[in-house]
Every structure is written in C-alpha cells, then in structure tokens.
A and B are shown apart, each in its own frame.
Chain A
Amino acid sequence: MSTPFSLARRTLLATALVVPFLTAPALAADPAETFVSDNIQRGLALLNNKTLTPAAKRDQFEQFLTGLTNLKRIADFTLGQYRRSASPADVAGFESAFQNYAVSVYQFYFSKYSGQTLKVTGSTQRAPTDYIVSTQLIDPAKSAPPLEVSFRVRTDGAKPVVTDVSVEGVWLSLQQRDQFVAFLGQNNGNVKLLISHLSELAKQFRS
C-alpha cells in the first residue's frame, strides 16, 4: 500500500531532524525492518526444516522466540490490572506458564505459514523507541491475497525486541490481555487458576 510507505518516509525524515535531541537510543526505521525481515524469515525457515525432530524443533523455536521477543514483558502486560494485586510468586509463576503457552501455541500457528515468504512493505516510528513494521506473508502456491502482518518493535532495552504481532489488524497481545483479564474477572482474580489453565493448554498444543 502506498500510504504506509509515504508515511514511513515522512517519519524517517522527521526522525533524522530530531535525532540530536533524543535522549533514548533510536533505531532508524530501516534497521527495524531489517530486524523483522531477517528474524522472521529465520523463524519460518526453522519451522519448515523437515530434518529436525519435533523435540529439537520445539527447543530451537523456544530459543528463537525468547531471542526475538521479551516474553516476560508481554506476560506482565497481559495480566492487566491484576499485575499490581498479584503476589510476586504468582507473577513469576504466570510469566513461566505464559512462556510455555506462547511457545506451544505460536509454534503451532506459525507452522501453518512456514512455507510462505515474508515481504516487508514499510514501517512507521510511533515514538523514539517504538516501531511498527508492516509485512505481507505470501503463499506462492495459492492465489489467495497476501496476509497483512505487522510487528511492533521496541528498542528501549539492550536489544530490539518484538512486543506484539498483528494479523489483519488484530494485535495478539491486546487480545490475550482481554482474555486473561476477563478470565480473572470471572474467577475472583485467581492467578493460580489462570496459570493452571495456561499450562493445560500448553500441554494440549505440544501433544
């Protein structure tokens, strides 16, 4: 689409003008695009690697995912307002359960796209350390339209990380937060019950 491209170029120019005045480290929009392109293509290739055993694929995918994202940061966000009231032990237990759940579920879903090609179509800088990289997943075998996928890249830490993914406009972390908060609301804020539920789901997707 032309709009994200022209917006990304205008944003890039504006960013170049204000870079001397920024106090936080900034990543130009093109490096954010390169970060997404290189890493996601690597992930798809990993999932498409038929020489790996299921256990090896899972281990490598877990390493890939934890290197690409900050699952603890995403987990804390998805707890919503319950993050403040939960005990440190419950929060730690939830972060661990969320990591297992995310690895199992994301591997299952991303495997469906493992034969496809990722094409970066543009990017936008929302804030000095906050980028949205727009891409398309193209299936060479079908005539179906490409799938619009966006990655939110944050550069406010030691290295860039993906904190959210949107497929056709639906942001995954926002959806997960709504689900988890609704679940806790229906169950008197019982984080241990949520942990148990996530662990069960992770087991189901692994089997």
Chain B
Amino acid sequence: MRGFRALLLGLYGLALAGCASTASPEALAAKDPYEPANRNIMVLNQEVDRLVFIHTLERYRALPEFMRTDVHNLLRNLALPTIFVNDLLQSKPGRAGRTVARFVINSSIGVGGLFDPATPIGMPYHGEDFGQTLSVWGAGEGPFVMLPLLGPSNPRDTAGLMVDTFGIDTTNHIHFKQHFWWAAGRQYLNVLDLRSQTFDTLQGIERSSVDYYAALRNLYRQARDNEIRDGVANPAAELPDF
C-alpha cells in the first residue's frame, strides 16, 4: 500500500512537470495556463479511476436503487449544517431558513436523513459551499485546474473546499474515537454517491466529445456559474452573438 501511494505521488509529480510546457494560445484564451499539466492529471485520474475505483463503483451501482437513494439522502442531510452556514454568509436568510427546516424535518420524520419528506412539501434541496460564498463576495475563479483525484476545479473553489471541510463542517469538530475513519468513510461515500449520480452523463460526454478534457473544463465552469446564480437564469449574461 505504501509502495502504491509512493508510485501515485510520483506519477502525479511527473504530470505536474507539464507545468513547464507552454500553454497554447487557445488554452490561454480559455484561462487555462496550466493546460498541459491539467491534461496529464486528467489522464492519471482516469487511470486511477479505472484501476482502483471503478470496481467499487460498479458494485455500488448494482445495489437496489432505494438503498442508493437512502445513502444519497443521508449524505445530503449531513451536508446541511455546512450549507446553512454558507447561506448565512451569502446573506440569504430565506434559503437558510429552508435549510434549517429541511434538516429538522428530514432528521426527525426522515429517520436521521435516510428519507427526504421535505422535498415533496415544497422544500427542495439546494447546495451552497464556501467556493460559492467567495464568488458572491467578489472573488474571481482564477485559472482552471484539474486536481489529482478530485477533478475539475479552480483556486477559489479549491480554497472553498478546504474551508468547508476543515473549518465549517461541524461534524469534523466533534471528536470521538475512530473519528478519522468516520470522516474518511463519509468522504469516500460522498465521492461514490456523486460518481454514481453522474456516471451515465459523464460516460455520454466522453463518448460524444472530440476533446473530453475541454468538454469537462467547459461543463465545470458553466455548471458552477449556474450553481452560484442558484439556478436563476441571468438574461444580462454575455452570450455570444451568432
């Protein structure tokens, strides 16, 4: 296991050597000055995925849908305290109130969050994170980066993820025996759940794209902008005239 970790670190280190390569004019125009390294990291991520993660994912996707839905609901419920804090930081008291209501209803009637009775009664889930909070506060996204294992991101969202995970997430401040394994297990389940939800979509994009890396980069940026706007269309947004 130690040898595998060392090999993985070495391979990602080599991938980062792509930073020394010059980005193309197209990459610079796409605010992706580290494109050569990013592309290398994506290829490595796909290999690690194929060798290590995909077998677990296949077994997880073979589980009955209701079990995967329960896990999905539980994980979303655990994320609500973090979402609540970010709702407040973004001065969205209405959304913060709905987050609290969802947490109370789903934790009680929803049996600890396994079920989601809040959505059918007009309180659907919404996501917020510190990366979005930074954007609302005026922080630009910066250059595109492909993170080892975690995938597409940018400096703002990466910093936001660190703050959420090590600062805002209240469950990480409750120390108990085996807390590390609880936290690691939860993050692993989060990744498994997200991959399960997006597996077919990403496969379809990979299958139909002429440049999967560029497709992911654009998809991440547009989807992220949509999240930051809370899904509300921005009619004044610059759409190219064609």
Interface of A with B (CB < 8 Å)?
1, 3-4, 7, 11, 73-74, 76-77, 105, 108-109, 124, 126, 130, 132, 134, 143, 145, 148, 150, 152, 163-164, 168-171, 173-175, 178-186, 194, 197-198, 201, 204-205
Contact = CB atoms under 8 A, between A and B. Distances in A.
A180 B209 CA distance: 9
6 contacts: A4-B233, A108-B208, A152-B239, A183-B211, A185-B25, A197-B210
B187 interface: no
B226 A179 contact: no
B120 interface: yes
Interface stretch (B51-59, B87-95, B165-173, B217-225): B217-225
Given A4-B233, A124-B233, A185-B26, A171 B208 contact: no
B208 A170 contact: no
Contact of B215 (A171, A178, A194): A178
A174 B208 contact: no
Contact of B204 (A7, A11, A109): A109
Contacts, number: 98
A132 to B, nearest CB: 6
A174 B240 contact: yes
Interface in B193-210: 204, 207-210
Contacts of B120: 143
B155 interface: no
A182 B231 CA distance: 27
A9 to B, nearest CB: 13
Contact of B223 (A108, A130, A168, A197): A168
Contacts of B233: 4, 124, 132, 134, 150, 169
Given A4-B233, A134-B233, A174-B240, A169 B225 contact: yes
Given A201-B208, A204-B207, A1 B232 contact: yes
Contacts of B26: 181-182, 184-185
**Chain B contact patch, size range:** 20 to 34
Given A143-B120, A168-B226, A169-B222, A126 B217 contact: no
Interface string B108-125: 000000000001100010
B176 interface: no
A11 B233 CA distance: 14
A205 B210 contact: no
B219 A170 contact: yes
A163 B242 contact: yes
Contact of B24 (A77, A175, A186, A197): A186
Nearest to A154: B242
User: Of residues A145, A171, A175, A180, which shows the largest number of chain B Cβ atoms within 10 Å of its Cβ?
Assistant: A175
Contacts of A3: 232
A132 B219 CA distance: 20
A150 B222 CA distance: 14
B159 to A, nearest CB: 23
A106 B239 CA distance: 22
Contacts of B217: 178
Given A132-B233, A169-B225, 20 more contacts: A4-B233, A11-B235, A73-B242, A126-B235, A152-B239, A169-B222, A170-B218, A173-B242, A175-B215, A178-B30, A178-B215, A179-B214, A179-B215, A182-B26, A182-B27, A183-B211, A186-B211, A194-B210, A197-B210, A205-B208
